[in-house]
Amino acid sequence: MELSEFELIRRLGRKIPPRLRLPGSLTDDAGALKTVVGHAVMSADVVVDGVDFRSTAGNWEQIGRKALAVNLSDLAAMGAAPVSFTCALGIPKSFRARSVERVYHGMMRLARQQGIRFAKGDISRSATFFIAITVLGSTGEKPPIARSGAKPGDWLAVSGSLGGSFKAKQFEFMPRIREGRFLLEKFRPHALMDISDGLVQDLGHMLRASGAGCRLQLEAVPVSAAARKAHPGQIRAQLQSALSDGEDFELLLAVAPAQKMGLERAWKRRFPGVKLSWIGRFVSGKPQVKFYDHEKEIPGGRFRQAGFSHF
């Protein structure tokens, strides 16, 4: 790095338009925000070079965007609107200031689109390049939606389509903030979360948190075009990809039977470009997934273990 810490901080600061910053974000020990009355949520996600992305391609804008996008997906998963975020960077000596500026640039473009303001940054030398972001969001007068409220009888729904996402859209996916807000405001599903490590693995988290089981209808799982393209003609591999690949960043929700039709209609009107698929029902019993093809139960062992690990 040809610049000192402070020169780099100054240069990065210039990447952030004033209306995207909290007062004090560049000059004080903390960014200042006037809090809204109501409920807030706070989450953190770190992405590390070689684990969550690869910087070798020089795709700096994309990496910066992704680091913020995975955090925004956590806000969407609570039904929250984005408020502000912090960003800590670990930067190897070999990195050029221009590259780090491009990381910020990609991040700030998404911040503008999603209306989230930069609260504070920190940088440190590090042998491994990483971006650690924390987001603060608000659900206003209504409390956020946990993943723990699914009840036997509820329908399981998922937004968008699944599988092959690391390859197809890890850098382009749009966090489902609008969809999460809409769900919280209009329908308040019993449970809500995002899928980041694969449908079956993340559904397992919802089941354990809710103390319910789930009957998953394999024929209803929305297999993405990317998953189909990656395994031409191999239906089984396509499905496996939809069940266990990471990086989908779609919403998974538990919906009371009485709300199913209303949500389906309202969703179609509001989000004509985004699928909403009904992929199963919650059942009482052990928190585990049972796999069905229409009425026939499929031994699930081969589906169950998979899922992305950050370790």
Site for its own copies in 167-196 (CB under 8 A): 193-194
φ, ψ dihedrals at 126, nearest 5°: -160, 140
As measured in angstroms, the least distance from the Cβ of 154 to its own copies is: 17
Residue from 11, 13, 20, 48 in contact with its own copies (CB under 8 A): 48
Q: Does 15 engage in binding with its own copies (CB under 8 A)?
A: no
As measured in angstroms, the least distance from the Cβ of 138 to its own copies is: 7
Note whether 35 and 28 are within 8 A (CB).
Answer: no
Instruction: Name the segment binding its own copies (CB under 8 A); options: 119-127, 214-222, 240-248, 286-294.
Output: 119-127
Nearer to its own copies, 145 or 223 (CB): 145
Note whether 285 and 153 are within 8 A (CB).
Answer: no
Burial 14-28 (b: 16+ CB within 10 A, else e): ebbeeebbbeebbee
Q: What is the dihedral of CA 160, 165, 169, 170, to 10 degrees?
A: 120
Residue from 39, 151, 231, 290 in contact with its own copies (CB under 8 A): 39
Residue from 62, 114, 138, 224 in contact with its own copies (CB under 8 A): 138
Q: What is the H or E stretch that residue 82 is in?
A: strand 81-91
As measured in angstroms, the least distance from the Cβ of 75 to its own copies is: 7
Binding pattern for the stretch 17-36 against its own copies, x by CB under 8 A and - elsewhere = -----xxx--xxxxxxxxxx
Residue from 68, 69, 87, 157 in contact with its own copies (CB under 8 A): 87
As measured in angstroms, the least distance from the Cβ of 140 to its own copies is: 10
Spatial distance between the Cα atoms of 276 and 222, rounded to a whole number of angstroms:
9
Distances (CA, A) of 89 to 5, 26, 223, 226, 289: 12, 15, 35, 32, 39
Q: Does 142 engage in binding with its own copies (CB under 8 A)?
A: no
Note whether 189 and 253 are within 8 A (CB).
Answer: yes
As measured in angstroms, the least distance from the Cβ of 145 to its own copies is: 9
Nearer to its own copies, 122 or 219 (CB): 122
Instruction: Name the segment binding its own copies (CB under 8 A); options: 124-132, 238-246, 255-263, 284-292.
Output: 124-132
User: How many CB atoms lie under 10 A from the CB of residue 52?
Assistant: 21
Q: Which of 230, 307, 243, 233 is nearest to 279 (CA)?
A: 243
Spatial distance between the Cα atoms of 145 and 180, rounded to a whole number of angstroms:
9
For tokens 């946990």, name the residue.
Answer: 146
Nearer to its own copies, 47 or 214 (CB): 47
Instruction: Name the segment binding its own copies (CB under 8 A); options: 146-154, 159-167, 272-280, 297-305.
Output: 146-154
Binding pattern for the stretch 56-75 against its own copies, x by CB under 8 A and - elsewhere = -----------------xxx
